[in-house]
Structure 1
Amino acid sequence: MKLDADYGIFLANTILNFIKENSVQKLDFIASHGHTIFHNPAENYTFQIGNGPYISSITGIKTICNFRVQDVARGGQGAPLVPIGDKLLFSEYDYCLNLGGFSNISFSEKEQRIAYDICPVNIVLNHYVAPLKMEYDDKGALASTGNLDKNLLEELNSLVFYSDAKPKSLGYEFVVDTIFPIIDKCNLTIRDILRTFVEHVAIQISRKMNSNSGKTMLVTGGGAFNTFLMERLQAYTKTQLIIPEIPEETIINYKEALVFALLGFLKDEGKINCLKSVTGARKNHSSGMIFEL
């Protein structure tokens, strides 16, 4: 609870500094996702720190937050929430793929938006380069020099989660309880771990989309900068992978922030921002909590 409050205070002060440095004159509201600490919808909980009342009280600005809790309460996964933005803002693409800590995909099927988490990505890759004093494997350079371990690859690809019915979502708990133990028991070099896990990610993502040529996929998130991962993914599909270039590169980095601002707008307008076809909730709804002075 203290961390929740402290992080809310930190976010509020960061926002105030941003407003000052950029001479922002008018701001309708703050839409804050917070930072996910726990996520286990099967056990009826999800928790994002970054206390909304503190943000609102310190900044003096209406704050919209806690976007996931209501969806879980209505029987949903509370994730992914970005697909409403994919539907409204990026409908020209057949698929929208985000490569962050986890990969998730969004697409339209039979006039419904379908989306779900696919597999862990950066949360695993970054973990294994941390002992090398690296924040991440730049462009996948280290992974590209490793050897593929077929036994590890086969065990990862056979995990039950990948054959579970949708909707579904992933959290850090899955990585700690399932992914890390499988990898660590193999006693591989860091390069070989990275090489094998990149292949695993490419295979899992490719299985979730139509491989016919003529399809397009918008790729965003930090993983879009992993050149080696993109090469391996493209090797498994004929779908054209579209990675925004400068100046559109900001979409890669900030697409999720952009969409959560949209989620906040929709909540403020009392409009649907959470789709049951995506999360598995009992009905479409307008999710989030509003705090204002």
Structure 2
Amino acid sequence: MNTSIYKVLGLMSGTSLDGLDMAYCHIWEETNGWKFTIEQTKEIPYSEEMREYLKNAIYLSEEDHAQLHKEYGKWLGEQAKAFIEESNIEVDFIASHGHTSHHRPEDGVTFQLGDGQVLSNISGKQVVCDFRTKDVDLSGQGAPLVPIGDRLLFHDYDFCLNLGGISNISFEKEGKRIAYDIGMANMPLNYITHKMGMDYDENGKLARSGKLDEPLLKKLNSLDYYRLPYPKSTGYEWFTSKIIPLIEASESSETDLLHTFIHHNCEQIAVQVHEHTNQPKNKLLVTGGGALNQFFIDTLQEKLESTVEVVVPNKTLIAYKEALVFALMGVLRLKGTTNVLSSVTGAREDSCSGEVFFPETS
């Protein structure tokens, strides 16, 4: 085995604004590919004040935005330093996704909050960050970035499916990595449970007890988005304009709505997976919050039938896969090899992306 093990602290903050995910990873390369272990993890929930600040960063003046960039970098540095000290771990460098405040790739704009120099100074560690800008400069979308990790770390699986607010998939096709948003996952489920005064439907118990609303299912399955060719992506705007009106117009109970949406989500995922299966047996890795919903997983396996095995990993990988992949992207950046795939982002070429910072000595 190659004894060169990279000891990396990966930092991830997603659009859900739950908090900061920190994953301390060991990453190394063997003759048959890249390997990893997730050694320690921690989630730091955002305070209500921090959540609102990050959520509304897009509306800040240039001066206030620059100030938040530095303040958030300082906060990241403090959290990383405390985690390293309390865990007594040896860290070669920090790979930080930051928090996306602006993302308009069609205008050549993307910005991840969390000043890398400030983060490096406070933590005392080398930092690799800003993984999206170079791809956008190359006329790419700057997203998704996780498929490089799917290719290098999870190549034993034919498909990698993420069930977050929306569902997205990645797979190899004719030597290229393909990735796109299929449609919805947890977004409608959370919308319905919030109306019921609940954060979520644990294990999909309520959804399992519901009945199928056939007319609603038909309307959902006929939405135009599903007929668009990939690469494609969707988000909250589509949900609010196309899905919420259907939920509000329905006379079904909340449990029936939950049941129907899970069936709908799984049918759309199955359509995409079956379209790209080219062998008798396939393995599909599922991560993201939806992987913890047992009714979602059971229904998905039912729709995919026996040709596809649905694999749900341990809870650590479900929750920290993105932080792990950014740690890997940091390793690839320091090695000077490709870490962003143009086949996924639509850029002119693959790139080795990320800015590198060292602690400044006073």
Please name the residue that 1:34 is paired with. 98
Aligned counterparts, 1:106-185, within 5 A: 106-185=170-249
Given that residues 143 and 345 in structure 2 are in contact (C-alpha distance below 8 angstroms), is that contact kept between their aligned partners in structure 1? Answer: yes
Q: Which has the larger radius of gyration?
A: 2
Root-mean-square deviation (CA), in Å?
A: 2.3
Aligned counterparts, 1:1-293, within 5 A: 1=65, 3-24=68-89, 26-186=90-250, 188-210=252-274, 213-238=280-305, 239-244=308-313, 248-293=314-359
Given that residues 193 and 200 in structure 2 are in contact (C-alpha distance below 8 angstroms), is that contact kept between their aligned partners in structure 1? Answer: yes
C-alpha displacement of 1:46: 4.0
Given that residues 63 and 291 in structure 1 are in contact (C-alpha distance below 8 angstroms), is that contact kept between their aligned partners in structure 2? Answer: yes
C-alpha displacement of 1:240: 0.6
C-alpha displacement of 1:227: 0.7
Secondary structure class of the residue paired with 1:237: helix
Query: Compared with structure 1, are the counterparts of its residues 96 and 128 closer, same or farther at alpha carbon in structure 2 (3 Å cutoff)?
Result: same
CA distance in 2, matches of 1:50, 1:181: 37
Query: Compared with structure 1, are the counterparts of its residues 177 and 269 closer, same or farther at alpha carbon in structure 2 (3 Å cutoff)?
Result: farther
Q: Where in structure 2 are there 5+ consecutive unaligned residues?
A: 1-64
Secondary structure class of the residue paired with 1:27: coil
| Aligned amino acid, residue 234 of structure 1 | Q
CA distance in 1, matches of 2:132, 2:338: 14
Query: Compared with structure 1, are the counterparts of its residues 181 and 23 closer, same or farther at alpha carbon in structure 2 (3 Å cutoff)?
Result: same
More strand by share: 2
CA distance in 1, matches of 2:357, 2:207: 45
Given that residues 99 and 224 in structure 1 are in contact (C-alpha distance below 8 angstroms), is that contact kept between their aligned partners in structure 2? Answer: yes
CA distance in 2, matches of 1:177, 1:36: 23
The answer to which of 97-106 and 187-196 deviates more is 187-196
> How many residues end up aligned between the 2 structures?
289
TM-score by length of 2: 0.72
Q: Where in structure 1 are there 5+ consecutive unaligned residues?
A: none
Secondary structure class of the residue paired with 2:160: strand
CA distance in 2, matches of 1:286, 1:171: 27
C-alpha displacement of 1:90: 1.2
C-alpha displacement of 1:133: 4.1
Query: Compared with structure 1, are the counterparts of its residues 184 and 257 closer, same or farther at alpha carbon in structure 2 (3 Å cutoff)?
Result: same
| Aligned amino acid, residue 299 of structure 2 | R
Secondary structure class of the residue paired with 1:31: strand
C-alpha displacement of 1:22: 0.4
Higher relative contact order (CA 8 A, sep 6+): 1
Query: Compared with structure 1, are the counterparts of its residues 214 and 11 closer, same or farther at alpha carbon in structure 2 (3 Å cutoff)?
Result: same
